Amino acid sequence: MSRLIVISNRVSAPDGSTSGAQGGLAVALQAALREMGGIWFGWSGELTDEFTGQINFQRNEGVTTATIDLEAQDVDEYYNGYANRTLWPLFHYRIDLAEFERSFAGGYQRVNERFAETVRPLIEPDDVLWVQDYHMFPLGQELRRRGCKNNRIGFFLHIPWPPRRLLSALPEAHQLIETLFAYDVIGFHTQEWMESFIDFARAEMEAVVSPGGVLRIGYKSVQLVVAPIGIDATEFAALAASDKARDSYEQMRRSADGRTMIVGVDRLDYSKGLEERFLAYERFLNENPAERKEVFLLQIAPPSRASVESYQRIRSGLEGVSGRINGAHADLDWVPIRYVNQGYPRDVLAGVYRAARIGLVTPLRDGMNLVAKEYVAAQDPEDPGVLILSRFAGAAVQMEQAVLVNPYSVEEVSDAILLALRMPRDERIARWRALMDGVEQEDVIWWRKRFADALMAVPEPV
Ligand code: ADQ
């Protein structure tokens, strides 16, 4: 039987010893690795003075992880540089924040070659490879060049694919996209991201697409598939029913002191629309004096990518806006925004979600957004809260019973908050039931299977 080799920037062991992919994605990939056997390969998160390609193997609960250390220059150019200062902003439609430097592109290519060189000896002829996300676009091609001719290699993109005209600003766009033809299958969260990809390949590279979703340039071809990621709904429901979740639920209810809680949970990232969210909430406070002191917003936002300047700016920007709103509106017994910069264990988070009457998930652009699904999975079926969700999150395609909003419009989001607060219980239950059915059916196991089926259906190389 084939083994599975997962390759991503960071890896995650079942005991949580290495950080990186967390929650549902990690659980799903670990389950696949347990079933098929194999290895999860990636960067350890550690630095080394000189790259040696020495691999650190660990085995935990039936999952083997293999990690390597990188040089400081690698991390600057590949991770902080090309991945987080070039591709991430550009792929989230923030060309204004994207930085184009040849050293970043060079470092990105070098690290992908280092990954390929190091992981290559671990790969056997029958192994199936699954490469994750935008850190690793050229990896498939580098592996093919090193002799992985017959392995099935799939690639999944966790972030949006930007419109063609935006992508044209990337100096290496053509080369980068050509490398993707080394994969057998490329997966996207939504039809929209896939269509943007096809649009670029057609218009700029004369690619042709067949009705079955095979994209061709000359003699090279790749199968495209839409596979929206889900959460592990069963795992999350169990978390929500745990003692820890109940404690945090009760603690939140007590501290809410009879007021209605609105919750936001996001990595501190400009793509998540936090500033717009705060401004929309302020508008709600101004427009609805009667409701004003009946609500508060809890925003949990642990800092991420803190060495990148645009992240430092968003952080101080948010401190400014939340401070100003609290300064202008707070009273002796009420603070409108509780703004918390730290991460919490997932069971605690589940209790917090359940205690919130509104889940406010308003990214300006998001590949999928798993917080929206977790919020739904944590609700009390008898008295569920209301999900307010950005139209520009990939999740909106599957979650049309949420209150969908344009996150750029403070008026629309403010109106949505009022609508959600006044929504009768029957309607909340009906919407929640439909959302929960989707979250349960199209969960992370479904996602993994959908992608794996597409990969296994590709005709075997000869
Ligand atoms: P992210 O941009 O990280 O993921 P998201 O999908 O919302 O966004 O996942 C965040 C995860 O981190 C959730 O599981 C959430 O519970 C957890 N998390 C966030 N804040 C936390 C906190 N304070 N404490 C503890 N946990 C916290 C990228 C893409 C998304 C895509 C995913 C998966 O940007 O669009 O949905 O990958 O493909």
Whether the CB of 13 sits within 6 Å of ligand 1: no
Q: Which residue from 85, 74, 404 is spatially nearest to 269, judged by alpha carbons?
A: 85
Mean pLDDT of 160-173: 97
Q: How confident is the model at residue 217 (pLDDT cuts 50, 70, 90)?
A: very high
Does residue 393 line the site of ligand 1, with CB under 6 A? no
**Lowest-pLDDT choice from 10-24, 157-171, 185-199, 201-215:** 10-24
Question: Which pLDDT score, from 0 to 100, does residue 23 have?
Answer: 59
Per-residue pLDDT for 318 more than 80?
A: yes
| DSSP per-residue letters across 320-385 | HHHHHHHHHH-BTTB-SEEEE-----HHHHHHHHHH-SEEEE--SSBS--HHHHHHHHTS-TTS--
Mean pLDDT value of segment 205-217: 94
| Residue 76 predicted with pLDDT over 50 | yes
pLDDT tens for 359-372 read: 999 999 999 999 99
Active site residue 366: yes
Which residues are CB-contacts of 112 (< 8 A; sequence separation ≥ 6)?
78, 136, 137, 138, 139, 142
Tens digit of each residue's pLDDT (9 = 90 or more) over 114-133: 999 999 999 999 999 999 99
- Of the listed 158, 266, 347, 443, which one is catalytic? 158
101-116 pLDDT, tens digit each? 999 999 999 999 999 9
pLDDT at 253 over 70: yes
Q: Which atom of ligand 1 is nearest to the CA of 269?
A: 2
Closest protein CA for atom 20 of ligand 1 = 266
Interval between CA 370 and ligand 1 midpoint (Å): 6
Confidence at residue 193, expressed as pLDDT on a 0 to 100 scale: 98
Atom of ligand 1 nearest to the CA of 302: 23
Quick: pLDDT tens for 22-45: 556 787 788 889 888 999 999 999
- Choose which residue among 10, 94, 192, 267 to substitute to test ligand 1 binding: the one with the highest number of ligand atoms within 8 A of its C-beta: 267
158 is catalytic: yes
Q: What is the pLDDT of residue 16?
A: 66
pLDDT level of residue 462 (50, 70, 90 thresholds): low
- For residue 270, name the pLDDT band (cuts at 50, 70, 90): very high
CA-closest candidate to residue 189, choices 25, 36, 304 = 25
**Mean pLDDT across the stretch 146-164?**
97
Probe target for ligand 1 pocket from 368, 373, 392, with the most ligand atoms within 8 Å of CB: 368
The C-alpha atoms of residue 83 and residue 407 are separated, in whole angstroms, by: 25
Distance 266 CA to ligand 1 centre (A): 7
Alpha carbon nearest to ligand 1 atom 15, residue: 371
What is the residue with the minimal CA distance to atom 38 of ligand 1?
158
- Distance (Å) from CA 70 to ligand 1 centroid: 25
Look at residue 21 in the predicted model and tell me its pLDDT. 47
DSSP single-letter state for residue 189: S
Length of the chain: 462
Bridge partners (DSSP) of residue 66 are 41, 57
> To test ligand 1's pocket by mutation, which of 341, 371, 373 has the most ligand atoms within 8 angstroms of CB?
371
- What is the pLDDT of the chain when averaged over all its residues? 95
Q: Which of 347, 366, 415, 443 is catalytic?
A: 366
CA of 71 to the centre of ligand 1 (A): 27
Query: Torsion angle, CA of 102/105/109/112, rounded to 10 degrees?
Result: 150
Q: Give the model's pLDDT for residue 19.
A: 47
Cβ–ligand 1 distance for 157 under 6 Å, the answer: no
The upper half-sphere exposure of residue 43, i.e. CA atoms within 13 Å in the direction of its Cβ, equals 21
CA of 24 to the centre of ligand 1 (A): 10
Residue 229, ligand 1, Cβ within 6 A: yes
Q: How confident is the model at residue 460 (pLDDT cuts 50, 70, 90)?
A: confident
Nearest to 186, CA basis, from 197, 170, 174? 197
- Model confidence over 78-95: pLDDT tens digits? 999 999 999 999 999 999
Does residue 226 surpass a pLDDT of 70?
yes
Q: Determine whether the shortest distance from the Cβ of 366 to ligand 1 is under 6 A.
A: yes
Q: Which residue from 269, 242, 264, 5 is spatially nearest to 120, judged by alpha carbons? A: 5
